[in-house]
Structure formats: structure tokens, C-alpha cells
Amino acid sequence: MAVNDPRRPDIETDDYAPLHPRTDVPETTVFGTDEMALRRVSGLINLAALVVTGLIGLRFILKLMAANPENPFAALIYFLSAPFVAIFVGLTPTPAFSGIEIEFFDLVAILVYLLLAWAVIRLLWILFARSRAA
């Protein structure tokens, strides 16, 4: 039962301290987000996009230098980047000569992933950012 319950007249409210709103709770909007949370989520999305595009960029450079695919480092980069470039393979022709491959679809994949990350971050800010009162 609550302290000020009229069904319990034996509880006196004078013995209790007055209630004050908490000041340590951050202010939130309807969606429960504040600017700091949006900045953190944006940073995580940027980090993920940079890791993915960095892997694809390393793949492009290794293919351009005709790196030995049996080398453990090159094999690791090819293995980690394969899922991210799989949908772009065959998008453009891949010229090759003397073991050097120029995978233009890697460059397209980098551009697409960066644009996708940018669009997701902008959408999050549009949907969840508080408008500032003038």
C-alpha cells in the first residue's frame, strides 16, 4: 500500500521525508535516447565501417601487388574480406596480367559500405535526436 493510502488512516505522512525528483537521471526523449548515446552508436557504426573498408582496402592492395595467397597474412585478409565483397564479385571486369589483379569491385564495395554507414548514422540522428528548443 502507498504511504498516502486513504484506506490506511493509521499511517501518518508527517513522519516521512518529502519526495524530490532524482537529479542524477539523464533527460530522455520519447524514444529514450540522448545525444551522448547517439554519439556512441554513431561511433560504433563508424568503427565497423572503417574496419570493413580497411579489410577490403588491404585486399585490393594485396591483389594489386600480386601477393602470394598462400602467405598466412594474405590468406587471413582474403578470408575475412570475402563475405563483404561476395555480393560485388563479377560487378566489373577484373583485369589481370603477370599475377596482378585489379579488382575494381573492391573499390565499389568500399564506396557502398561507407555510404551505407553514413546513411544509417544520418537516419539514427533524424529519428532519435532531440530537437533543441530555441
Q: Which of 4-18, 38-52, 66-80 has the lowest mean pLDDT?
A: 4-18
Q: Supply the pLDDT for residue 129.
A: 79
Q: Is 103 exposed, middle or buried (0-12, 13-18, 19+ CB in 10 A)?
A: buried
Average pLDDT (67-91) is 95
pLDDT reported for residue 30: 52
- Region 70-94: mean pLDDT is 94
What number is the average pLDDT over the span 88-94?
92
In degrees to the nearest 10, what's the CA dihedral of 77, 58, 83, 38?
120
Give yes or no for a contact between 58 and 81, defined as CB atoms under 8 angstroms apart.
yes
Sorting pLDDT into bands at 50, 70 and 90, what band is 1? very low
- Amino acid in the structure at residue 33: T
